[in-house]
């Protein structure tokens, strides 16, 4: 098949020129195009569906803050709205209150101005929506639980929001193979509860589990807290059903552990952030629910001890090690200050959470105890607490899981999600702290130590271009110097797409542009996201 040249394709030389200047990329200086109400208040508001959700404080429009130009997509007309309302009565909303929630990201950092929210229930409906949008050249923003952290899940301009919220059916579960097949809008926590009743668990776990959708997890290749044990979604997702930009339904919803027939197409959609197709159903391999879980929360005097504790516990705990997370003392101060949680182990510059999951509590506790004895004797950890009952385990986990939430109460947050060689992980935080000095309110580091994944977060009283200039591209150059990744698990979305070249060669970006043009020649799927700006 030939590769059609579309507006999203850049010539090789143009691409090279663009990539060469991304380090200093700035929004175009031309006057931004304001989000224009195409049909606005003339439309009859539908019934609000989520009146209980908190009101959003006014977030600047993304297109204005970044001075962006709208791509030449069609404008939503009264006839278009009529078509969608006929296709899914009561599920095509133009209610400004409801749209307000869906136009803003969870961090309240980016805001679009979509005027239509669609809630299909089936892949067939998604197919009809996309076929229509493709014909009319209307841009579409697929949206799951809207918990993403890089601005990938909300519109930049007036893209139609295609929500998976009502695609929430479990299709099948096979207790012999542990394979679950479900629609994309199932909430991660709900799936986990369903599985736990049957002696299984989901292979991924995130702080956002109560709201995020499995389709969104797959579309962003979310990592989370269990990756160390169960690997990434690239391994556990066995099949996908995806609707392509022109409405074609791609049924690759296989439930097979082994299948070497041709290219593994599902991998293209895992982590593509809704830019290549809309994931409508997922087949996923789920592990057995562990019979025994223990959690140790320990304090370490410096980062080299955090590292040594990791290598020691990996060697001593072996197959029962299921998570190794770290956080610095600033993180703990913030969860105490903003969320009122209490830290059971005070006075350490670093803390680690070590989880074991196995099938025999006596055996596992014996192993954990001998590791703890060794770690204390060697002076790797100074203090700690261990939990084996569910309630205490949850309480300890919340100290780690709720750091993101605590940060949002601390001010405007600048987020970096970096992969680095484990030995270098914390140096970036130290360097950044020294570089920013008083300009930042707090600079904190935490993350998935076992996966070499640092969450560097910087807070300030308010958003400032000059603070951003002090952070970027420094943070990306630093990461590239050590061959790290500028997005370990959150994706590129809107906020990081211009920096892809710090982690991918030009040839790879060029090929990605080609895939995008082949699968979505009009560029209607989640435009302005993931791939670099193409004027
Ligand atoms: O907020 C962040 O930077 C990280 C969020 C999430 O990936 C986590 O590991 O808690
Ligand atoms: Zn994370």
**Of 223, 323, 399, 404, which is best to mutate to test ligand 1, by the most ligand atoms within 8 angstroms of its C-beta?**
404
- Rounded CA-CA distance 387/355 in Å is 10
CATH of the domain at 25: 3.30.43.10
Q: Say how many Å lie between the CA of residue 526 and the centre of ligand 2.
A: 23
Residue where a domain terminates, one of 256, 285, 314: 285
- Rounded CA-CA distance 232/401 in Å is 19
Furthest C-alpha separation in the chain: 74
Ligand 1 atom having least distance to the Cα of 403: 10
> What φ, ψ does residue 293 adopt, rounded to 5°?
-125, 135
Q: Say how many Å lie between the CA of residue 85 and the centre of ligand 1.
A: 37
Strand 160-163 to 117-118 pairing:
parallel
525 falls within a domain: no
417 falls within a domain: yes
Domain of residue 47, residue span: 12-165+512-519
Contact assessment for residue 489 and residue 453, using Cβ atoms and an 8 Å cutoff: yes
Q: Cβ contacts of residue 131 below 8 Å, gap of 6+? A: 246, 247
Judgement on whether residues 454 and 384 belong to the same structural domain of the protein: no
1 falls within a domain: no
State whether residue 85 is helix, strand or coil. helix
CA contacts within 13 A on the Cβ side of 174: 10
pLDDT score recorded for residue 57: 57
211 falls within a domain: yes
Nearest CA to ligand 1 atom 1: 404
Q: Which helix (H) or strand (E) holds 239?
A: strand 237-243
Ligand 1 atom having least distance to the Cα of 490: 7
Ligand 1 atom having least distance to the Cα of 224: 9
pLDDT score recorded for residue 8: 31
- Rounded CA-CA distance 401/210 in Å is 12
pLDDT score recorded for residue 471: 98
Per-residue model confidence as pLDDT tens for the chain (535 residues): 232 333 333 333 333 333 332 222 233 333 444 554 333 332 322 222 222 233 335 899 999 999 999 999 999 999 999 999 999 999 999 999 999 999 999 999 999 999 999 999 999 999 999 999 999 999 999 999 999 999 999 999 999 999 999 999 999 999 999 999 999 999 999 999 999 999 999 999 999 999 999 999 999 999 999 999 999 999 999 999 999 999 999 999 999 999 999 999 999 999 999 999 999 999 999 999 999 999 999 999 999 999 999 999 999 999 999 999 999 999 999 999 999 999 999 899 999 999 999 999 999 999 999 999 999 999 999 999 999 999 999 999 999 999 999 999 999 999 999 999 999 999 999 999 999 999 999 999 999 999 999 999 999 999 898 999 999 999 999 999 999 999 999 999 999 999 999 999 999 999 999 999 999 999 999 999 999 965 4
pLDDT score recorded for residue 463: 87
Judgement on whether residues 253 and 355 belong to the same structural domain of the protein: no
5 falls within a domain: no
Judgement on whether residues 218 and 258 belong to the same structural domain of the protein: yes
531 falls within a domain: no
Contact assessment for residue 81 and residue 30, using Cβ atoms and an 8 Å cutoff: no
Judgement on whether residues 381 and 436 belong to the same structural domain of the protein: no
State whether residue 143 is helix, strand or coil. strand
pLDDT score recorded for residue 533: 65
Judgement on whether residues 232 and 273 belong to the same structural domain of the protein: yes
Residue where a domain terminates, one of 266, 285, 304: 285
Token readout for 363 is 């055996």
Judgement on whether residues 175 and 62 belong to the same structural domain of the protein: no
Q: Say how many Å lie between the CA of residue 455 and the centre of ligand 1.
A: 6
Domains: count for the chain: 4
Alpha helix (H) residue ranges in 197-269: 214-220, 227-230, 233-236, 266-269
Q: Which residues of 471-493 are buried (b: 16+ CB within 10 A; e: fewer)?
A: bbbebbebbbeeebbbbbbbbbb
Check whether the bond before 203 is cis (ω within 30° of 0).
Answer: no
3 falls within a domain: no
Q: Say how many Å lie between the CA of residue 453 and the centre of ligand 2.
A: 7
Following CA atoms 203, 207, 208, 209 in sequence, which dihedral angle do they give, to the nearest 10 degrees? 40
CATH of the domain at 241: 3.30.465.10
Ligand nearest to C-alpha 208: 1
Residue where a domain terminates, one of 365, 387, 403: 403
Burial of 445 (0-12, 13-18, 19+ CB in 10 A): buried
Ligand nearest to C-alpha 453: 2
Angle at the Cα of 254 (from 251 to 257), degrees rounded to 5? Answer: 155
Nearest CA to ligand 1 atom 5: 404
Judgement on whether residues 375 and 422 belong to the same structural domain of the protein: no
pLDDT score recorded for residue 534: 57
CATH of the domain at 439: 3.30.70.2740
Contact assessment for residue 184 and residue 167, using Cβ atoms and an 8 Å cutoff: yes
Q: Which residues of 269-306 are buried (b: 16+ CB within 10 A; e: fewer)?
A: bbbbbbbbbbbbbbbbbbbebbebbbbbbbbbeebebb
Judgement on whether residues 309 and 398 belong to the same structural domain of the protein: yes
Q: Say how many Å lie between the CA of residue 205 and the centre of ligand 2.
A: 10
Burial of 326 (0-12, 13-18, 19+ CB in 10 A): buried
Q: What is the pTM of this model?
A: 0.90
CATH of the domain at 356: 3.30.70.2190
Judgement on whether residues 339 and 415 belong to the same structural domain of the protein: no
pLDDT score recorded for residue 346: 87
Judgement on whether residues 346 and 329 belong to the same structural domain of the protein: yes
Judgement on whether residues 245 and 302 belong to the same structural domain of the protein: no
204 falls within a domain: yes
Judgement on whether residues 253 and 302 belong to the same structural domain of the protein: no
Task: Say how many C-beta atoms besides its own lie within 10 A of residue 196's C-beta.
Answer: 12
Q: Which residues line ligand 1 (CB under 6 A)?
A: 149, 207, 404, 415, 417, 455, 457
- Rounded CA-CA distance 345/362 in Å is 25
> What φ, ψ does residue 270 adopt, rounded to 5°?
-70, 120
> What φ, ψ does residue 523 adopt, rounded to 5°?
65, 30
Ligand 1 atom having least distance to the Cα of 457: 3
């Amino acid at each position: 098949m030939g590769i059609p040249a579309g507006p999203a394709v850049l010539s090789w030389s143009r691409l090279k020129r663009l990539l060469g200047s991304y380090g200093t990329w700035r929004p175009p200086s031309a006057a931004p195009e304001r989000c224009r109400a195409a049909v606005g208040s003339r439309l009859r508001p539908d019934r609000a569906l989520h009146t209980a959700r908190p009101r959003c404080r006014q977030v600047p429009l993304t297109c204005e803050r970044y001075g962006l130009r709208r791509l030449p997509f069609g404008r939503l007309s009264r006839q278009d709205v009529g078509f969608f309302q006929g296709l899914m009565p009561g599920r095509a909303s133009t209610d400004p209150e409801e749209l307000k929630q869906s136009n803003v990201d969870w961090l309240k950092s980016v805001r679009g101005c979509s005027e239509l929210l669609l809630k299909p229930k089936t892949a067939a409906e998604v197919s009809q929506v996309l076929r229509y949008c493709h014909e009319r050249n209307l841009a579409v923003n697929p949206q799951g639980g809207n918990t993403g952290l890089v601005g990938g899940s909300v519109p930049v301009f007036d893209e139609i929001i295609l929500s998976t919220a009502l695609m929430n059916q479990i299709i099948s579960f096979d207790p012999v193979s542990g394979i679950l097949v479900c629609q994309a809008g199932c909430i991660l926590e709900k799936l986990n509860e369903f599985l736990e009743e049957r002696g299984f668990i989901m292979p991924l776990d995130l702080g956002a589990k109560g709201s995020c959708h499995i389709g969104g997890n797959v579309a962003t290749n979310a990592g989370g807290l269990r990756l160390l044990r169960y690997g990434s979604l690239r391994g556990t997702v066995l099949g996908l059903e995806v609707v392509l930009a022109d409405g074609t339904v791609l049924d690759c919803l296989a439930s097979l552990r082994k299948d070497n027939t041709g290219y593994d197409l599902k991998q293209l959609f895992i982590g593509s952030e809704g830019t290549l197709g809309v994931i409508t159903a997922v087949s996923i391999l789920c592990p057995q629910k562990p019979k025994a879980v223990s959690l140790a929360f320990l304090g370490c005097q410096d980062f080299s001890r955090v590292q040594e504790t990791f290598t020691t516990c990996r060697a001593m705990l072996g197959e029962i090690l299921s998570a190794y997370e770290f956080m610095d003392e600033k993180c703990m101060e913030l969860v105490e200050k903003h969320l009122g949680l209490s830290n059971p182990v005070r006075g350490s510059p670093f803390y680690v959470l070590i989880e074991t999951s196995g099938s025999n509590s006596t055996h596992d506790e014996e192993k954990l105890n001998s590791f703890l004895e060794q770690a204390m004797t060697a002076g790797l950890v100074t203090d700690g607490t261990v939990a084996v009952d569910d309630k205490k385990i949850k309480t300890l986990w919340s100290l780690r899981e709720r750091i993101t939430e605590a940060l949002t109460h601390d001010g405007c947050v600048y987020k970096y999600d970096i992969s680095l060689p484990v030995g270098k992980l914390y140096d970036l935080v130290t360097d950044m702290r020294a570089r920013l000095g008083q300009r930042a309110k707090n600079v904190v580091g935490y993350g998935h130590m076992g996966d070499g994944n640092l969450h560097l977060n910087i807070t300030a009283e308010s958003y400032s271009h000059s603070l951003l200039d002090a952070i970027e591209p420094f943070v990306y150059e630093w990461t590239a110097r050590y061959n790290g990744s500028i997005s370990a698990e959150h994706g590129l979305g809107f906020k990081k797409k211009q920096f892809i070249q710090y982690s991918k060669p030009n040839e790879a970006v060029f090929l990605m542009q080609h895939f995008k043009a082949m699968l979505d020649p009009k560029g209607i799927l989640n435009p302005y996201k993931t791939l670099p700006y193409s004027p």
